[in-house]
Amino acid sequence: MKGKVYLIGAGPGDYRLLTLKACDCLGLADTVVYDRLADARILQYAPEEAELIYVGKASSQHTMTQDKICQLLVDLAKAGKTVVRLKGGDPFVFGRGGEEALLLQENGLPFEIVPGVTSAISVPAYAGIPVTHRGVAASFAVVTGHEDPSKDSSDINWQQLATATDTVVFLMGVANLPRITARLMEHGRSGDTPVAVIRWGTKAQQQVWTSTVAEAAAMAEREAIKPPCIFLVGEVVKLREKLSWFDNPAIRPLFGKRILVTRSRAQASRLTAGLEELGAECLEAPAIHIQPPADDFAALDAALTGLADFDWLIFTSVNGVKYFFERLQHLGRDSRALAGCQICAIGSATAEGLHSYGIVADVVPEEYRAEGILAALQGRIKAGDRVLLPRAAEARNVLPEELSRQGAEVAVVPAYETVAGEADGTALVQQLAQGKLDAVTFTSSSTVKNLLALLGDGAPDLLSRVKIAVIGPVTAATCRENGLRVDVQAGEYTIAGLIKAVKEAF
């Protein structure tokens, strides 16, 4: 049985510029063949069991030649695989997608082209430079900047190109800037024409340099500018002064900051998205993994079977809510089983989690920690009341101990447990040692303990080089107990509160 190949444009760098169709196709993949410019987070849309084959090509450095890549796609499709060929930008804009498609066609193999957002227009847009603008530029050209300078003759019609369009965009052209600018001026382009060099456009490490055609090559050498870059020529470059947004600190105050997010992989996205919206580059390194408890829900299931015997249900996390209702449904019951209980949620996020199951919490304390719950429940829980507390297998005992002292009958049951995550400790040590991180966020005591274990004996010294941001006082206390300095603590003990605190800290 023949397979099928999807030739997909991954976009210019910002993974959120991936198209909906590209996401759908990735979800079908048996094998993903991807290159250097695709953001690694794009791979999360492929099935966990999909084979990933890296064939990236940097300037003068090829993991696999183009001929071999083409043949690889043919071989995989002939083996019956559904293949996604993931290429930076658009596969048909200097992406050599045409060569890959032609060989597939010659071998009678089905394929589809999924266009991507090309860097030719998106990278300038992220730099605040429109390639066309009324009264300034009515046309633009996209040209390879990677042409071999040793060729006897150029495939580019420099005489026509130099002045034919208002804006000229050279892709992959930084290494050839002396030759490109010389040819432009030789054929009539003024040396005073504004230019921009944009490196890693649309990504958090984006850099933009502006100059003129005459001075561009010297500027690139002076600034030691390296690929990947685009080179843009035209009067539209002047508009950057007013239209800069992506790397504008007034709009995105965390731009240029690299922040380590230690939450579990399944929960990191909300924190990452919030920080990235403010301009930060987030490195997700899950220090914890959430999984079922060691007793495989035996204690929780027993409590759920006798749910009618409890007067109060107290939820101290969104995870507790999730596993509680999953097991309730597993036992063939639904939220009607809670009719006899009053319900307390530790904070707004946990209350929202309950709301998704049709439950409105009776009590949400003003302070989102165990001490806040105790204050909010003062006088409401009476001696003899039975309280069910489904929570993490390892958690502070302040709440159950104090409720017991007040005469309540408290049943603490593990709904889940946190274990060490799959983050690469060696890579994190290198990032911290090389000063490549500006801050680390901790959302629980377990993220602190597990990151310290991942980093090893030198962890306190490594973490002294960055700002440490925590979600609340309990996590802050765990940091200090382990010799870490706390620089930032959220005023409201939520993800939104942590994002706000990090923003204000920088």
Active site residue ranges: 35, 57, 172
Which residue is it, tokens 């930076």? 88
380 and 361 Cβ atoms separated by less than 8 Å: no
β partners of residue 419:
289
- Pinpoint the alpha helices (H) of 165-251: 177-186, 216-222, 240-243
Which residue is it, tokens 């997700």? 284
* Beta-carbon-side half-sphere exposure of residue 17 (alpha carbons within 13 Å): 24
Say what angle helices 425-433 and 445-455 make with each other, to 10 degrees.
80
Structure tokens at 110: 């089905």
How do beta strands 194-199 and 229-233 pair?
antiparallel
Alpha-carbon distance of 6 to 21, in angstroms, equals 10
Residue whose C-alpha is closest to residue 7's, from 88, 63, 62: 88
29 and 82 Cβ atoms separated by less than 8 Å: yes
Which residues, 6 or more positions from 314, have their beta carbon under 8 angstroms from its beta carbon? 343, 344, 346, 373, 387, 388, 389, 399
Tell me the three-class secondary structure of 152-173, residue by residue.
CCCCCCHHHHHHHCCEEEEECC
Which residue is it, tokens 């090893």? 456
Alpha-carbon distance of 364 to 367, in angstroms, equals 9
By CB neighbour count within 10 A (0-12 exposed, 13-18 middle, 19+ buried), where does 304 fall?
buried
- The length of the chain, given as a count of residues: 506
